[in-house]
Amino acid sequence: MQRCHRKNGEKAAKAAKAAKAATQAELSSALWRRAKATADAHRPLFARNLIRPSPLRFILILHHLVTVVTASSPIMSNLNVAAITERFGGYYNQVTSTKAGSAALAVFALYVIRKFFQRRKRIAARKAWSNPSREVAVITGGSGGIGMEVVKRLAAKGVKVAIFDLSPPKDSLLSKTVRFYKVDITDYDSVVEAGKSVESDLGPVTILVNNAGVANPGASILDFDPKKTKLTIDVNLLSHFYTLKVFLPHMIRHNHGHILSTASAGSFMMPAGGADYGATKAGLVALHETLQLELELLYQNRKGVLCSIAHPYWIRTPLLDTIFKPEALSKMIKPELVGERMVEQLLGGQGGSLYIPGWIGHLAWLRVLPHWLQHRIRIDATLDLQKSKHEARPNPPMP
């Protein structure tokens, strides 16, 4: 008898378990159908608001998602919009009960809003630069060094490239979409003629990389050669005005373009013996900042014309081996790294300052320090970098 009762009990338990599973399956199926029907009913709203997102539309979508979930599940039935509002309202009151909490909440809200609009801006900017094959780039000083690395990487992305230089690059670099133009960028008329040739051969220029640069290393202010210093200023600074005057108007008219200037860490701190070079690179910072202002104030709603400036650390070249100490040379970077970062900036749809490596950006804070401390840092940097001991000299001769 006991065995029979035990078997009957086991059968009843199994039957109850099976019935419960069937009920749960039926309930889940019903809940799924109900949730799907609710979602289908709200689908036009979701689609309409997801096409052009905004903070208000985001709140509406979140509200309807909560409605769908709470309406579709008995477990969530008590967690309705009113309950959620009441719960978070309590948290809100606790946070805002003090001035510090209110200030922190306001800062956080501004941060979220700023990030939201920054993301929208980045998405729109990437779309504008999503087809590199439509772009035409002019690279000054593109036959070697950083310029050549930029040319290689832009060409690999499908960009049509015009090289402005005095000497041609390697033949392997040239193709139907990579052209060389012998241009003296210190001569405005030469730049104008080359610009016309580029537009005829490749199309209107949408990317301008002012990269050409020369240096007169080791020459003190009183030892400089006037001709060499004039060439340094003409190439490193004045040529930027020429290329901007030739290529910027088309970018403004079509609200699409990117201008990238190659400056230097010397824009912020230059060792002794590099006054002319440092002056040109510091001048590029002023030019870059003023260009941004004029694009916004004089040519309003031209958000599609981007401006960037690159500040690379010293590039390792044989010319510097006789000037810098071995420890300083070992920290110098290769042109390949700079070229890669510059191309990412050009095609990423964002303008701004580019520091290579990132710690170069901290040099900009040097000028907020007291003058005596700035001077001491510059002296130490000069002695650390250069081989010359900067010994005392007799009185300089009169000119």
DSSP 387: S
**Active-site hit among 281, 303, 334, 389:** 281
Residues in contact with 34: Cβ distance below 8 Å, sequence separation at least 6, in sequence order: 71, 72
Burial class (CB in 10 A: 0-12, 13-18, 19+), 153: buried
Q: Indicate if 281 belongs to the active site.
A: yes
Give the integer Cα–Cα distance in Å for 294 and 384: 40
Per the DSSP assignment, residues forming a β-bridge with 179 are 162
State phi, psi for 54 to the nearest 5 degrees: -155, 165
Pairing of strands 257-262, 305-312: parallel
Q: Do residues 383 and 324 lie in contact, with contact meaning Cβ atoms separated by under 8 Å?
A: no
236 secondary structure, DSSP code: I
353 DSSP β-pair partners: 309
Angle at the Cα of 42 from the Cα atoms of 40 and 45, rounded to 5 degrees: 130
Q: What are phi and psi of 143, to 5 degrees?
A: -85, -10
DSSP letter for 391, please.
Answer: -
Neighbouring C-beta atoms of residue 236, cutoff 10 Å: 25
Phi/psi for 151 (5° steps) reads -60, -50
Could you give the CA distance from residue 168 to residue 181 in angstroms, rounded to a whole number? Answer: 8
Of 345, 346, 339, 300, residue with least CA distance to 208: 346
Cα–Cα distances in angstroms (integers) from residue 354 to residues 184, 308, 349, in the given order: 27, 7, 14
Active-site residue flag, 242: no
106 in Cβ contact with 173 (< 8 Å): no
C-alpha distances in Å from residue 311, one per residue of 153, 235, 341, 356, 361: 19, 17, 11, 6, 8
Active-site annotation holder among 181, 277, 313, 355: 277
Catalytic residues: 277, 281
